[in-house]
Structure 1
């Protein structure tokens, strides 16, 4: 059953302007430690690729925060929500700390997609309530 749906579109120029104004501090506010390492690596090779990476993560976290109905308030924080990827390249949401505990206690699962084009990054997130695990009973003798 669908718990919530969230979408976000982000102007990449706005992310670039924030980076110009605040430098790495802005990225450190939005990205988890793992994402930060990836952002630095991409930015070193091709700065524009780093900006797009940050914009897609920003957008994905906004969409997720809307889908869970919290916005950016506890336990939802930028750094406790990470956008990872499977070996296939499919993006996945990886949660940490209190946000992970909250999400698991509600028995939720999430699906995320991200995309970017010349001036915009966009994301769409669907959060579902997982079916409860069946109760196992021991067979009667």
Structure 2
């Protein structure tokens, strides 16, 4: 059963401007540890690719926060939600700490997709709640 749906579109030029003003401080606020390592590696090789990566993660976290109905308030926070990739390249949501505990207690699962093109990054998240366990007869 669908618990929530979230979508977000992010202007990559806005992320670029924020990075120019705040530098790495912005990335460390938005990205979890695993994401930060990927961002640094991509940024070192090709700075525009690093910005696109950051924009897709920002967008996906916004979409996730909408899908769970919390916005950016606890237990939701930027760094407790990471968007990683499976070996196939498929993005997945990895949660940590209080957000993970809350999410699992609700019996929720999440599906995410991200894309970027020219000036925009977009994300779509569907959160599902499993069926309740059958009642004892």
> So what's the TM-score if we normalise by structure 1?
0.93
User: What CA deviation, in whole Å up to 9, does each residue of 1:84-120 have, x standing for no partner?
Assistant: 1111111000000000000000000000000000000
User: What CA deviation, in whole Å up to 9, does each residue of 1:50-109 have, x standing for no partner?
Assistant: 000000000000000000000000000000000011111110000000000000000000
Q: Which residue of the partner structure matches residue 4 of structure 2?
A: 4
How far apart are 1:133 and its partner, in Å?
A: 5.2
Unaligned runs of 5+ in 2: none
Matches of 1:135 and 1:83, distance apart in 2 = 36
CA-atom RMSD in angstroms: 1.3
Which runs of at least 4 in structure 1 moved beyond 2 Å after TM superposition?
Answer: 131-136
- Structure with higher Rg: it is 1
Q: Which residue of the partner structure matches residue 16 of structure 1?
A: 16
Q: Which residue of the partner structure matches residue 47 of structure 2?
A: 47
Q: Which residue of the partner structure matches residue 78 of structure 2?
A: 78
Q: Which residue of the partner structure matches residue 62 of structure 1?
A: 62
Matches of 1:44 and 1:133, distance apart in 2 = 49
> So what's the TM-score if we normalise by structure 2?
0.96
SS of corresponding position for 1:58: helix
Unaligned runs of 5+ in 1: 137-141
